[in-house]
Amino acid sequence: MASATDKPSIAWLAFPGSAYLGIVFALPLLILLTTSFFNSDNQFTLSGYTAFFSDQYNFRVVLNTLKIAIWVTLICLVVGYAAAFCMARVSTVIQGLMFLVFIIPLSIGVVVKAFAWTILLRSNGVVNKILLGLGITDEPIKLLFTETGLIIAAVHVFIPFMVLPIFAVLRQIDSRLPEAAATLGASPTRTFFKVTLPLTLPGVVTGCSFVFSMSLSMYVIPSLLIGDRYQTLPALMARAYLFMRDRQSGSVMAVLLLLMAVTIVIISAMTARRLQKLQTTAVSQA
């Protein structure tokens, strides 16, 4: 058993990892934050933030970014939760096959998947041919260079990051709990909302945090599937860095993007924690 004198020496074991995280993640973020407050003459100024918030066009770009991220997260949550629930209930063989279905696409680059969706979503692509064959539509639907096409492609790219955290939590739930709830007279719907869903909230929050953060900051997928006609904040930030050579403006947008992602993650975590506490209180009172 380690004594009190061993604790400082054990704490040093965390130093390499902490130093790596500090250099690779914390330091660039600090430089990014500092750059947003200094102009090209290295003078401290808030002109970057003032210029960004004084332009109405930027507000529309932020709304576009948030709207796409929210839709992608919601669709991934609904589809991903159902898929994760099935994975946790099926046999080992089918579970392994489903696991491969979600893991293998992660080995393919985002650019390749985005280009593939440009082929699938075009007027004579597979998606429109299926819709026409099923009689859902009488003529090809314009999906390429639209919000709908962007959301479809983004859901395909990011859904594994929703399924896997939820599946990891579902596997740990005791299979006897639904049976116990049914014995006490609870219907399957009530069992799901009162037992299963509260227990899977950590996985839901983790998945939503992953998907929302990545959807908020995606650049390649919108660039290939919707072009410059529909601007998002990452595209605007890339234009400021690459074409306008305006480091302060690009840093301002990067800081705002980071703040939005972190805010949503914190709110989601606090909400899940509160719901779990309420559920625990309700169970104890019952």
pLDDT tens by residue, 103-137: 888 888 888 998 889 888 888 888 888 888 888 88
Question: Does the structure show a pLDDT above 80 at 51?
Answer: yes
Q: With 50 as the cut, is the pLDDT of residue 175 above it?
A: yes
For residues 82 and 261, give the distance between their C-alpha atoms in angstroms, rounded to a whole number.
25
* CA distance linking residue 207 with residue 159, whole number of Å: 9
Is a pLDDT exceeding 60 seen at residue 67?
Answer: yes
Residue 72 has a pLDDT of: 96
Q: Which amino acid is at 88?
A: A
With respect to residue 111, please indicate whether it lies within any of the assigned structural domains: yes
Gap between the Cα atoms of 262 and 260, Å rounded: 6
Q: How many independent structural domains does the chain possess?
A: 1
Whether residue 260 is predicted with pLDDT greater than 50 in this model: the reply is yes
- pLDDT band at 1; cut points 50, 70, 90: very low
- Whether residue 272 lies inside any domain: the answer is yes
Q: Is the pLDDT reported for residue 6 higher than 60?
A: no
**CATH code (residue 270):** 1.10.3720.10
Mean pLDDT value across residues 148-175:
90
In a domain, 7, yes or no: no
Collect all residues with Cβ–Cβ distance below 8 Å to 55 and sequence separation of at least 6: none
The reply to whether 8 falls in a domain is no
pLDDT tens track for 181-240: 778 788 888 888 888 888 888 888 889 888 998 999 898 888 888 877 788 999 888 888
Query: pLDDT band at residue 100, thresholds of 50, 70 and 90?
Result: confident
What are the pLDDT digits (tens) for 246-255?
888 889 998 9
What was the pLDDT predicted at 286?
Answer: 45
Classify each residue of 248-262 as buried b or exposed e, where b means 16 or more C-beta atoms within 10 Å of its C-beta: bbbbbbbbbbbebbe
Position 40 pLDDT exceeds 90: no
14 DSSP 8-state letter: G
Mean pLDDT calculated for residue range 265-283: 69
- pLDDT value for 152: 93
pLDDT at residue 166 is higher than 90: yes
In a domain, 9, yes or no: no
Whether 38 shows a pLDDT value over 70: the answer reads yes
pLDDT band of residue 162 (cuts 50, 70, 90) is very high
Rounded CA gap, 132 and 155, in Å? 23
Q: Residue 77's pLDDT is what? A: 95
19 occurs within a structural domain = no
Q: Is residue 113 one of the residues assigned to a domain?
A: yes
Give the pLDDT of residue 155.
Answer: 95
Report the pLDDT averaged over residues 265-270. 80
Nearest of 207, 198, 107, 208 to residue 167 by alpha carbon: 207
The closest of 164, 259, 264, 156 to 204, measured between CA atoms, is 164
Give the single-character DSSP code of 44: B
Per-residue model confidence (pLDDT) at position 279: 57
Does residue 84 have a pLDDT over 90? yes
Query: Whole domain around residue 250: which residue ranges?
Result: 24-36+46-281
- Three-class secondary structure assignment of the chain: CCCHHHHHHHHHHHHHHHHHHHHHHHHHHHHHHHHCCECCCCCECCHHHHHHHCCHHHHHHHHHHHHHHHHHHHHHHHHHHHHHHHHHHCCHHHHHHHHHHHHHHHHCCHHHHHHHHHHHCCCCCHHHHHHHHCCCCCCCCCCCCCHHHHHHHHHHHHCHHHHHHHHHHHHHCCCHHHHHHHHCCCCHHHHHHHHHHHHCHHHHHHHHHHHHHHHHHCCHHHHHHCHHHCCCHHHHHHHHHHCCCCHHHHHHHHHHHHHHHHHHHHHHHHHHHHHHHHHHHHHHHC
Phi, psi of 115 (to 5 degrees): -65, -35
